[in-house]
């Protein structure tokens, strides 16, 4: 049985580890604070009889000592956005240990039973959050091979530190843990519980599809000039053109189904002085959806609008897709198993989708992956006010443990 006291205590210890100026959890990707959190979790894993180790990408694996048979894992991540919440990442990590507590204590029985029965372990992925390097789920994507290690040298934080340098420093902080290889060939299933990031979800959510973000960079080149000396009719103001593009992106998303959204999250102008008409503007666009057709439509609409606005205003504009992403469909058997387990335990659960990216969608390329959402309470996700109810947390743990317990016993699952 998941232990609510232990869950709450561990969430509190992770929460208290490092705070941002807004009072939220502050453990950036590949930072000393993330490393410290990993060490804290590694200590808890040892209490459960697991042997913690770190893979080359910085992911924490804690597996039964000396066991070379099949495994099932659960976990999430321990890095956070700046001033993040108490549950994001931390909750799934702490519940990964509850899975181990549920499946592992009767080790005598397990060992007596079978070589084919999988044992339970913990996987905490590194650098899941995007803000520091402008790219998230680094640990799981490196493991799945959908991002190359060389790409880390191209990602820089605001201080100019590359993700490659940050990973090296982070691995040095964790040098007390043995280096391990991901046990890909004996991995039967993985599960991640995450606090929901969409208020509309009011039951336990069993995720069927994850919208992978597509990212676009728009550059507008106009003509700089003295703000007091160029008449309005002679201007080619890059920011005014970009402002129309922001509104065009918004309008294009409004014409799509609710699950398709588009956001201009970053804007920069050059030279950025009050006395100079902006000569250049850059926008960063994030587009997500669970329908490939809808994504193709909005992509085309955004490109057409940018071209039309640039042409009409006499500026040059380019749209570059800087990150591709197609919706990911998660394992249907695990979805069905979770919905069944919920029914058996009298827990309200429903199939749902995720607009946010999660490690589970990348792990899905390596092992069947289950992603469960606990309803969001309190304030928004990714803020210090983010909340969750312990009753609903225990329900998620119960369903996850039931599904992975069945996987552990199901030797048809290959490994």
The residues binding a second copy (CB under 8 A) are: 81-82, 130-131, 134, 136, 196-198, 200, 211, 213, 215, 223-233, 237, 239-240, 242-244, 246-247, 250, 253-254, 258, 261-269, 271-278, 284-286, 288, 354-357, 380-383
Output 70 or 135, the one with its CB closest to a second copy. 135
Contact criterion met (CB below 8 Å) for 163 and 152: yes
Closer Cβ to a second copy, 121 or 278, answer by number:
278
Rg of the Cα atoms in the chain = 23
Q: Smallest Cα–Cα separation from 404: which of 373, 368, 353, 351?
A: 368
Q: How far is CA 166 from CA 34, 35, 44, 83, 184, in A?
A: 11, 11, 25, 20, 25
User: Cβ(37)–Cβ(140) under 8 Å?
Assistant: no
CB of 244 to a second copy, least distance (A): 7
Phi, psi of 99 (to 5 degrees): -60, -45
Cβ at position 347, least distance to a second copy in Å = 23
Residue 146 or 411: the one with the smaller Cβ distance to a second copy is 146
Smallest separation (angstroms) from a second copy to the CB of 71: 30
CA distance 42 to 101: 15
Complex with a second copy: residue 237 or 410, whichever CB lies closer: 237
Q: 68 or 318, CB closer to a second copy? A: 318
Give the separation between CA 348 and CA 337, rounded to whole angstroms: 14
Residue 174 or 264: the one with the smaller Cβ distance to a second copy is 264
Cβ at position 224, least distance to a second copy in Å: 7
Render the burial of 356-366: b for 16+ CB within 10 Å, e for the rest: bbbbbbbbbee
Does 271 sit behind a cis peptide bond, omega within 30 degrees of 0 on the bond before it? yes
Smallest gap from Cβ 248 to a second copy, in A, equals 10
At its nearest, how many Å lie between a second copy and the CB of residue 348?
Answer: 20
Shortest Å distance, C-beta 63 to a second copy: 31
Using the minimum distance from each CB to a second copy, give the nearer residue, 115 or 265.
Answer: 265
The first and second tokens of residue 112, run together, are 């007596």
What is the closest distance, in whole angstroms, from the C-beta atom of residue 101 to a second copy in the complex? 31
The distance of Cα 162 from the centroid of its chain, to the nearest Å, equals: 20
Indicate the residue among 180 and 217 with the shorter CB distance to a second copy. 217
Report helix, strand or coil for 67: coil
Q: Least distance to a second copy from the beta carbon of 413, Å?
A: 31
Torsion of CA 258, 379, 89, 413, to 10 degrees: -50
Distance spanning both ends of the chain, measured CA to CA: 26
Output 151 or 180, the one with its CB closest to a second copy: 151
Question: Mapping DSSP to helix (H, G, I), strand (E, B) and coil, where does residue 225 land?
Answer: strand
The alpha-helical segments, DSSP class H, found in 151-237 are 163-173
Residue 292 φ/ψ region, left for φ over 0, alpha for ψ in the -120 to 50 degree band, beta for the rest: alpha
């Amino acid at each position: 049985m998941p232990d609510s006291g232990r869950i709450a205590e561990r969430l509190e210890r992770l929460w208290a580890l490092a705070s941002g100026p807004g009072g939220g959890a502050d453990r950036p990707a590949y930072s000393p604070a993330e490393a410290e959190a990993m060490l804290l979790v590694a200590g808890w894993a040892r209490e459960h009889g697991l042997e913690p180790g770190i893979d080359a990408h910085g992911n924490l694996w804690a597996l039964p000592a000396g066991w070379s048979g099949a495994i099932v894992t659960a976990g999430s991540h321990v890095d956070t956005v700046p001033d993040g919440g108490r549950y994001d990442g931390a909750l799934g990590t702490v519940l990964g240990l509850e899975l181990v507590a549920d499946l592992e204590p009767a080790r005598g029985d397990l060992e007596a039973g079978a070589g084919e029965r999988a044992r339970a372990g913990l996987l905490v992925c590194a650098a899941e959050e995007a803000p520091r390097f402008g790219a998230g789920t680094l640990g799981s994507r490196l493991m799945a091979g959908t991002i190359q290690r060389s790409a880390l040298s191209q990602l820089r934080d605001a201080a100019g530190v590359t993700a490659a340098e940050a990973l090296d420093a982070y691995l040095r902080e964790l040098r007390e843990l043995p280096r391990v290889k991901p046990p890909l060939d004996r991995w039967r299933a993985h599960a991640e519980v995450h606090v929901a990031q969409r208020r509309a979800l009011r039951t336990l959510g069993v995720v069927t599809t994850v919208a992978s973000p597509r990212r676009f960079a728009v550059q507008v080149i106009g003509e700089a000039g003295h703000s007091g000396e160029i008449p309005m009719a002679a201007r080619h103001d890059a920011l005014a053109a970009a402002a129309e593009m922001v509104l065009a992106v918004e309008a294009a998303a409004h014409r799509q189904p609710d699950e398709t959204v588009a956001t201009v999250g970053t804007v920069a102008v050059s030279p950025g002085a009050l006395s100079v008409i902006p000569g250049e503007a850059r926008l960063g666009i994030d587009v997500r959806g669970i329908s490939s057709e809808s994504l193709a439509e909005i992509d085309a609409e955004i490109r057409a609008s940018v071209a039309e606005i640039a042409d009409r205003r006499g500026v040059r504009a380019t749209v570059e897709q800087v990150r591709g992403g197609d919706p990911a469909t998660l394992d249907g058997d695990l979805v069905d198993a979770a919905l069944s387990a919920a029914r058996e335990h009298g827990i309200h659960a429903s199939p749902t989708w995720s607009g946010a990216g999660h490690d589970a969608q990348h792990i899905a390329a390596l092992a069947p992956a289950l992603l469960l959402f606990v309803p969001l309470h309190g304030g928004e996700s990714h803020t210090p006010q983010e909340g969750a109810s312990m009753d609903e947390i225990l329900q998620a743990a119960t369903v996850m443990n039931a599904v992975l317990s069945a996987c552990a016993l199901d030797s048809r699952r290959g490994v």
